[in-house]
Structure 1
Amino acid sequence: MGRRKSTKSPSKESEELEIAGDESPIALVQMTLRQRLSQFSSPLAITGLEKEKKQLYNLIHRTSTTGESNSVLVIGPRGAGKSMLLKIVLSELGAEKDFKQNLLQVHLNGLLQTDDRIALKEITRQLQLENTVGDRVFGSFSENLQFLLDALKSGGQKSKPVLFILDEFDLFAHHRNQTLLYNLFDISQSAQTPVCVIGVTCRLDVMELLEKRVKSRFSHRQIHVFNALSYKDYCTVCRNLLSLSDQFPDKTFAKTWNHHIKELLQDSVVEEVLFRQYNLNKDVRGLQTLLVQPICQLSPVNPILTTSAIVDAFKLIATDSKAAMLHGISILELCLIIAMKHLSDIYEGEPFNFEMVYSEYMKFAKRKSGMQIFEKPVVLKAFEHLMALELIKTIDNGGTRIQKEYRLMSLLIHPTQITDALQKYPNCPTEVKQWATSALA
């Protein structure tokens, strides 16, 4: 991507983006982009998943038009685009004539429908099949299940097809006896009401979670989704996220805004930030997280996106939380962390206990006349505080049977994190810095 420097000053761009009138368009821009970054608006176009998109499109299309029953699992790591792929397919199918009238949709999530009883109530609610007398729902779990199955099975091939989308599909496999999955797959295999069951999961071993009777009724179709975005595609997605569409009320403002976004993304500093974010995480959701803060900072006083706002947002999301925690611990606790670092280097990552750390700390404290020497109970209290902060953890299975001074521990901080934290630690003694960087404990 070519690098061009903007010939206009920020104040000049601000004047061009402001429009005379009682209402500033900045509020509308902010609302539009925040909805897009929060995935509340229509899905974005994706690249590299055309084959998977065609497979999913054909499956749902055959169910809605010919009444063919299907079942499929969409599998891939988090952030690969599984949900977005499904949104795009449903969006394109929704544009077809009579699609919504010909197909009923039921959306379930394993995080929300934590057992089959809750799932059944949600299905009957979405299909408007509530077995009610007035506002009172009655019937046991088995009765509700039988009512739902009878309602589905009573239909023939002329009945409206039903699309079941099970997000976090692997969590449904943990339900007792997998009754819901069994019956949904059973209906999809039988010549009853046309049903399409789509499971979305990030677990590659999800088939191992299914019972034998459930597996036998599953079609064993699987669509694997992986993040295949190139850096060029990543930059295109970024531009699409920030650009205004033709539907924006003020066409002149939209054209000026989009020109500003194009120039902003050609800035060398912004390019570097995007490249680092791409190498850190190719997930589009990570990019959306990066852009949320600059968008939220827009106002009539600050009507444009600036390079500094994007840089500040990247620094915020790229902050090492553990290294930041080290800035708030005491000098004594910092010395214990450094002692553990040296022990890990000496014993090549082998576990250590408090007595070993205390011995290492005392050797250092006695060598440096300017360092305050703390008593053993005080040092032990500092050691326990580091455990509470989860900077170190116990690894032995003996637990409470072993005295706490001799319990084996491991360090949860990488040496580079310790080095980086020391550079920013306020008023850190020179002796401590030298001890941390020295090869000898």
Structure 2
Amino acid sequence: MQRLYKTFLIINILNGSGKDKIYKLVEGGKSLQAFKKMENKLLHILKCLKQNLLENKECHGYDKEEQQIFDLLERTLDCGESNSALLIGPRRCGKTLLVNKVLERIQHKDNFDTDCILVKLNGLIHTDDRLALKSTTSQMQLDNVVDGKVFGTFAENLAFLLECLRTGDKSKSRSVIFILDEFDLFCCHHNQTLLYNLFDVSQSAQAPICILGITCRLDVIELLEKRVKSRFSHRQIFLLPHENQTSNVHTVGDAVNKIEYYLKLPEGNKKLQINTAVAKQWNRNLNNLLKEKKFRNVIQRLIDLDNSEAMLKDFLVKVIFHFTGENLTVDLFQKELNILEEDDMIKVLQDLTVLELCLIISMKHHLEIYDNNPMNFEMIYNRFMKFANANAGIQNFQRAVMLKAFEHIQGLELISMLSNTGSKVQKEYQFFKLLVTPEQILDAVKKSSGLPTEVAQWARSSLT
């Protein structure tokens, strides 16, 4: 029974299946062998879908940029040429994917393992130069040579790393390729010490080194300090959307074809250990699902939110994660879409106290009456007091308490101070603008539980 429960935990982690189904299966007299058969079937299906969604990565429309990056790295590997470049493009356009594709190509060269060292750093992970330096010495396999000094001071490690990079004949030294993902975050490090020294080594031509930064910021050059900028080659490769790029889905038909491509199981593939009959049954159910009108309506709403293929794949991953081992259903897709469509601002409004929500409603009415003109605390205070005095069921609050609630609303960034407000103006008279829409306020009031009836009616009333 203990082993059975462990098996349940594995399945539960993979697909979120419920504990009740496992217990019903055991109590119904099913043998452990039958249960293991079901478990294997489930795991093999999930493994195949995982490969389709996470490992099937393609990059279209960037052949020219791919060749530029490949030539850059190849000259460092074969000719010992030092280079530095930036790959710039919007988020989720395939920058990292393209670089990994180039690295896969160049790693197939016979001399890569013997003549080159690859170092990958990420600005989201290596948040300061110390962490980046430790990771660099580890990936360059220098930590054993330094005899534990990788945990020493930053200055010692940096000096040792630079000495290793600069020592030796250029024609005989191993090339080093640095891939700096989220490059703009490295510009926020103190004094940009790591960037300065890496670019300095690449300029000194003492060791073949190539530095390729990946970023989504077009102004990344302006983030570099003057001394760092002077050592950078200013070579930039831009990844911009092409007309023939196929990474977006424009119609429901396109999205359905992508879903079929990612969720269809291969029939007769022995490597995946999926029975042909199981694969055929799965594919028949999938085809029936794709033809349903309700399902297509769900997909239409999805691509109205975001028509990128990356978004579609993320959505399918979430659907598969909550898959319970039965057939895929429209309700499962609908549930994930509802979560995706939830407005975070409405959740913030729902978490407000009754007083804070009343102040937000006061701001809503103020904007309706005065045609979206800015307001200050005094205006909102007077409007709330007018409402509270007219309704015996509404509690009156002290002025200091209401001012504190107003400041909390400002801290949640539901309102923002106008830039032309003078610093010498008392905070009660500083002007603000509301950052939430009337529709969001009404939705939050509708979904809030335990709200006084008078407040809900006040929110739905107009021009009061």
| TM-score of Structure 1 vs Structure 2, range by shorter chain | 0.7 to 0.9
Q: CA deviation at 1:50?
A: 3.3
Distance 1:114 1:325 in 2: 29
Contact preservation (8 Å) 1:53, 1:89: yes
1:205 to 219, 230, 244: 219
Aligned pair in 2 of structure 1 residues 121, 433: CA closer, same or farther (>3 Å)?
closer
Aligned pair in 2 of structure 1 residues 376, 114: CA closer, same or farther (>3 Å)?
closer
Paired amino acid for 1:340? M
Aligned pair in 2 of structure 1 residues 357, 224: CA closer, same or farther (>3 Å)?
same
Query: What does residue range 10-409 of structure 1 map to in structure 2 within 5 Å?
Result: 21=37, 23-34=39-50, 39=54, 42=55, 44-95=57-108, 97=110, 99-130=112-143, 132=145, 134-135=147-148, 137=150, 141-153=154-166, 154-226=168-240, 229-232=247-250, 237-244=258-265, 247-250=271-274, 252=276, 253-254=278-279, 256-258=281-283, 260-299=285-324, 302-329=325-352, 332-365=355-388, 372-377=393-398, 380=402, 383=406, 386-387=409-410, 390-392=413-415, 405-409=428-432
Q: CA deviation at 1:127?
A: 0.8
SS in 1 for 2:323: coil
Could you tell me which residue of structure 1 aligns to residue 26 of structure 2?
Answer: none
SS in 2 for 1:72: strand
Aligned residues with identical type, % of pairs: 44
Distance 1:335 1:135 in 2: 61
Q: CA deviation at 1:284?
A: 4.7
Q: For 1:20-62, what per-residue CA distance to the aligned partner results, in whole angstroms no more than 9, with x for missing partners?
A: 946432123334545765x5xx351133333333332332334
**353-362 vs 140-149, which moves further:** 140-149
Paired amino acid for 2:132? A
Contact preservation (8 Å) 1:335, 1:361: yes
Distance 1:52 1:19 in 2: 51
Distance 1:177 1:326 in 2: 41
**135-144 vs 148-157, which moves further:** 135-144
Give the structure-1-normalised TM-score.
0.79
Q: CA deviation at 1:351?
A: 3.2
Contact preservation (8 Å) 2:150, 2:157: no
Q: CA deviation at 1:329?
A: 4.5
Q: CA deviation at 1:336?
A: 2.6
Aligned pair in 2 of structure 1 residues 145, 432: CA closer, same or farther (>3 Å)?
closer
Q: CA deviation at 1:224?
A: 2.0
SS in 2 for 1:112: coil
Give the structure-2-normalised TM-score.
0.75
Q: For 1:372-406, what per-residue CA distance to the aligned partner results, in whole angstroms no more than 9, with x for missing partners?
A: 2432418726546645655345568788x876644
Aligned pair in 2 of structure 1 residues 189, 383: CA closer, same or farther (>3 Å)?
closer
SS in 1 for 2:127: coil
Distance 1:414 1:172 in 2: 37
Could you tell me which residue of structure 1 aligns to residue 24 of structure 2?
Answer: none
Paired amino acid for 1:292? V
Count of matched residue pairs: 416
Distance 1:298 1:96 in 2: 42
Q: CA deviation at 1:330?
A: 5.5
Ranked by relative contact order (alpha carbons within 8 Å, sequence separation 6 or more), the top structure is 1
Distance 1:311 1:234 in 2: 15
**155-164 vs 136-145, which moves further:** 136-145
SS in 2 for 1:44: coil
Q: For 1:83-108, what per-residue CA distance to the aligned partner results, in whole angstroms no more than 9, with x for missing partners?
A: 22222322344455554444321011
SS in 2 for 1:28: helix
**166-175 vs 284-293, which moves further:** 284-293
Q: CA deviation at 1:280?
A: 2.2
Aligned pair in 2 of structure 1 residues 82, 266: CA closer, same or farther (>3 Å)?
farther
Aligned pair in 2 of structure 1 residues 342, 137: CA closer, same or farther (>3 Å)?
closer
SS in 1 for 2:171: coil
Aligned pair in 2 of structure 1 residues 87, 428: CA closer, same or farther (>3 Å)?
same
Contact preservation (8 Å) 2:49, 2:263: yes
Distance 2:169 2:275 in 1: 51
Contact preservation (8 Å) 1:162, 1:194: yes
Unaligned 5+ residue runs, structure 1? 1-17
Distance 1:362 1:79 in 2: 49
Aligned pair in 2 of structure 1 residues 420, 142: CA closer, same or farther (>3 Å)?
closer
Paired amino acid for 1:216? S
Unaligned 5+ residue runs, structure 2? 1-33
**290-299 vs 302-311, which moves further:** 290-299
Q: CA deviation at 1:322?
A: 2.0
Paired amino acid for 1:197? I
Distance 1:273 1:155 in 2: 63
Paired amino acid for 1:159? S
